[in-house]
Homo-oligomer: A and B are copies of this chain.
Amino acid sequence: MTRGTGRGGNPAAPRSVDVARLAGVSQKTVSRVFNDEQYVSADVRRRVLEAAEELGYRRNNAARALASGRTRSIGVVTLGTALYGPASLLMGVERALRDTGYALRVVNTMEGDPAGIAGAVDSLLDQGVDGIVISEPIDEQKTDGGVALRVDVPVLVLGAPSPVGAPTVLTAGDGADLMARIATEHLLSLGHVTVHHLAGPQRWYAARDRLDGWRTTLAAHGRAVPAVVEGDWSAASGYAAGRLLASDAAVTAVFAANDDMAIGLIRALTEAGRRVPEDVSVVGFDDIPVAAYVTPPLTTVPQPFDAVAQEGLKRLVHAIENPHADPLPASDPPVDLLVRSSTAPPPNRTTPARGERSAATNSPGADTGATGPQANGGPSTPH
């Protein structure tokens, strides 16, 4: 079979031997140049590069992967939704990957997907990735009661502790409880007797984590822990929850597990005649792009998606390239709170009681990041 008739692929595509021939060197030398190996004279390198350029040579990645046993790609399992959190994390992962030389393969898993996360991981393994990122996993009702998947590449779990068994399982961005804590502290520091919680779906670790942070904070302050209302992240569910909460006069402060629900909640409260923040204060979570521009501008906890993705990827790549070394230590992402106009002291109290105020002021993280221009809700460019 003559050259050019080759099966599959572009028949005319030049191979490294062609470059070698043109440059007057061996095929292996071409390989050396393209792998940036040392011990190649500047002159030879230049000749090879020129020949490659002239021929329009492009290294065949399949052959490379086959010969080396590494695909130089990382797979991401993410929820198949345009939800702000998962979408932002995915973008963060891609951005973090750009400089590492790894390619990105993406597989979605939907809630209710029969194959679930295990199926997504499996398909990634089929494709042959060097590492896997599982973003914001949710609990799945497995018939067999456990994921028995054998994973032989390092795994990074974003936004939750590890649910899989792999040689290296890293975790990043699972500190939402701390963020929930400062949200709750903020509300208490304004003088609210207690804080209600509009939770996310409890199948999500991220939702449980936020709930835990809220509950812990109330307990630490000796406050009553009201019944939790659970939503599904959507503004519609926040609206439904708002109708419930609006009828309870004891509700003066609500911490919502994400901004979409907070916005639906505020709408329901407003329609019911309960003003925000005069009658009820609301804190959201995420800092979605419109959070500063809704009415009233939303006090919320921004999530450090990029920082989490970047830090996690760095550790994942390290684990891939140094299989026997100790994993890099995790570092805590920054915790912040954007105080805008949806929170205020409770009604029927001209000024917050002294005790309340100091209790919160003494707490770590309370009011952190109440940056100037946004503190009063005057819209300015949010980050």
Q: Are A270 and B295 in contact (CB under 8 A)?
A: yes
Which of A53-61, A197-205, A218-226, A344-352 lines the interface with chain B?
Answer: A53-61
A106-142 vs B, CB cutoff 8 Å, 1 = contact: the mask equals: 1110100000000000010111100000000000000
List B contacts of A108 (CB < 8 A).
91, 94-95, 98
Q: Among A70, A91, A150, A292, which residue has the most Cβ atoms of chain B within 10 A? A: A91
**What interface size band does chain A fall in?**
35 or more
A79-101 vs B, CB cutoff 8 Å, 1 = contact: the mask equals: 01110100110110011001000
Q: Are B94 and A106 in contact (CB under 8 A)?
A: yes
Q: Are B236 and A380 in contact (CB under 8 A)?
A: yes
Q: Are B293 and A264 in contact (CB under 8 A)?
A: yes
Q: Are A152 and B10 in contact (CB under 8 A)?
A: yes
List B contacts of A236 (CB < 8 A).
292-293, 379-382
Q: Is residue A253 within 8 Å, beta carbon to beta carbon, of the partner chain?
A: no
Q: Are B84 and A235 in contact (CB under 8 A)?
A: no
Q: Is residue A294 within 8 Å, beta carbon to beta carbon, of the partner chain?
A: yes
A236 to B374, CA, bound (A): 12
List B contacts of A59 (CB < 8 A).
126
Q: Are B128 and A379 in contact (CB under 8 A)?
A: no
Q: Is residue A103 within 8 Å, beta carbon to beta carbon, of the partner chain?
A: yes
Chain B residue at minimal CB-CB distance from A63:
B66
List B contacts of A105 (CB < 8 A).
73, 103-106
Q: Are A289 and B235 in contact (CB under 8 A)?
A: yes
A81 to B322, CA, bound (A): 31
Select one of B7, B58, B267 contacting A294, CB under 8 A: B267
Distance of A244 from chain B, by nearest CB (Å): 14
A/B interface sample: 11 pairs, CB < 8 A: A8-B67, A61-B126, A66-B66, A73-B127, A80-B95, A94-B106, A103-B123, A104-B105, A236-B292, A260-B290, A290-B290
6 residue pairs, one from A and one from B, having the closest CB atoms: A8-B69, A9-B69, A62-B65, A62-B66, A235-B293, A87-B87
Kindly list 17 other residue pairs between chains A and B, CB separation below 8 angstroms, not including A95-B108, A288-B290.
A7-B68, A62-B62, A62-B65, A62-B66, A62-B71, A62-B128, A81-B91, A82-B289, A94-B106, A103-B123, A234-B381, A236-B381, A267-B294, A267-B379, A268-B379, A290-B294, A294-B295
